[in-house]
């Protein structure tokens, strides 16, 4: 960030100082001293995250691939779309293909990039890249060591209902479903989505 950039956005906060608070295997916590728009100073604590992908994967029968996975911070299993962390230097599309194969055992012939979401803007720089995958072929999964999950499928209507009923509460899953709904509805109407 620069002083010049702050003239472009009157809400920008300028980093004055930065210190590492915690360096974990996945997450890194930082505490920055910043100049606020009114000229005063404050501190911002945030988590640096390597980024991730989430995949809306459509089976030949039109159902969507879901995972049920235990998430330790909340001490319970969640119903979510396939997703995973981007490795250092990894292309986001390569990551999406890898995660779909490793976690679900599927490869997809058709892919479309749907955009990016930022799940926790108040305390993290995490971004999640959203992909739509179709023409799936079962090739066998390759779960990471220590990774345990169940694979199941839901129709788009069942998935949408599960969000409204509070059965699906995972933010990346809700956002990815929302982004994919126009493509899923077009597919259900008999129109093939346009793939890049």
Instruction: Name the residues annotated as catalytic.
Output: 145
Angle at 98 between CA 95 and CA 104, to 5 degrees: 130
| 111, β-bridge pairs | 133
Report the C-alpha gap between 123 and 161 in whole angstroms.
Answer: 30
Q: Which residues, at least 6 apart from 189, have a Cβ–Cβ distance to it below 8 Å?
A: none
Positions of E strands within 36-183? 41-48, 52-57, 64-71, 76-80, 83-85, 106-117, 128-138, 149-154
Phi and psi torsions of 49, nearest 5°: -130, 145
Among 56, 89, 44, 24, which Cα is nearest to 173's?
56
Rounded Cα gap, residues 165 and 176, in angstroms = 17
């Amino acid at each position: 960030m620069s002083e010049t950039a702050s003239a472009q956005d009157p809400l920008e906060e300028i980093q004055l100082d930065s210190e590492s608070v915690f360096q974990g295997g996945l997450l890194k916590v930082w505490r920055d001293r910043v100049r606020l728009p009114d000229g005063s100073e404050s501190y911002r604590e945030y988590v640096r995250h390597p980024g991730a992908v989430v995949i809306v994967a459509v089976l030949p029968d039109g159902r969507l691939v879901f995972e049920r996975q235990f998430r330790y911070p909340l001490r319970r299993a969640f119903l979510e779309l396939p997703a995973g962390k981007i490795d250092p230097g990894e292309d986001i599309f390569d990551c999406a293909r890898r995660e779909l194969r490793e976690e679900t055992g599927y490869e997809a012939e058709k892919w479309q990039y749907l955009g990016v979401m930022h799940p926790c803007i108040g305390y993290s720089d995490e971004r999640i890249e959203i992909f739509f995958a179709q023409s799936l072929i079962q090739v066998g999964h390759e779960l990471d060591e220590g990774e345990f999950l169940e694979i199941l499928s839901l129709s788009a209507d069942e998935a949408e209902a599960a969000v409204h009923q509070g059965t699906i509460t995972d933010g990346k899953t809700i956002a990815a479903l929302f982004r994919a709904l126009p493509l899923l509805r077009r597919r259900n109407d008999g129109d093939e989505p346009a793939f890049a």
